[in-house]
Amino acid sequence: MENQQKVFEKLDELKIKYEVMNHPAVYTIEEMDELGIANLDDVCKNLFLRDYKGKRHFIVVLDKDKQADLKKMREQLGTTALSFASEERLQKYLQLSKGAVTPFGIINDTNCAVEVVFDKDLIDKKSLGFHPNENTATVWVSFDDIKEVIQQNGNKIAYVTM
């Protein structure tokens, strides 16, 4: 609950409107579908990736129904080969656990080491669903508001076409 509370405090501090839905822990989009959560507005899939040498780290945010093309993404970001980062890296950089990857994790990234990458199709969406750093709830905010949280934290933002 402490991780969630930090997210809610940040949203309140920035005067961002949000809605919260508490639910049993979910680890996949399929589990969210089973609970009916993914049928509400736009639930996002969030991936934690690293470049080949582990020097750059990314949270990639895309619609739950899209597939991430790592080669295409790599070309658009101008980076070396991308792969999924380990749970150890996820904990080190964002203090998150497997199943709770979310752009809200940057609140814990005091060094702004993680870049946030959005699929361009999410721009201007009015209601996107993300875990609030724990996978037992979903928070609904607009694209502009999640972007504001990231900008206020100082992390780089990039956009790709999936």
Length of the chain as a residue count: 162
| All structural domains of the chain | 2-160 (3.90.960.10)
149, containing H or E segment: helix 143-153
pLDDT at 32: 82
pTM for the whole thing? 0.93
- Give the largest CA-CA distance in the chain: 39
- Quote the Cα angle for 44-20-108, to 5°: 65
Reported as a single tens digit per residue, the pLDDT across 48-78 is 999 999 999 999 999 988 999 999 999 999 9
144 with 28: CB under 8 angstroms? no
Average pLDDT per 10 consecutive residues for the chain, totaling 162 residues: 90 96 87 75 91 96 93 96 96 93 96 97 95 94 98 97 92
Residue 65 contacts residue 121 (beta carbons within 8 Å): no
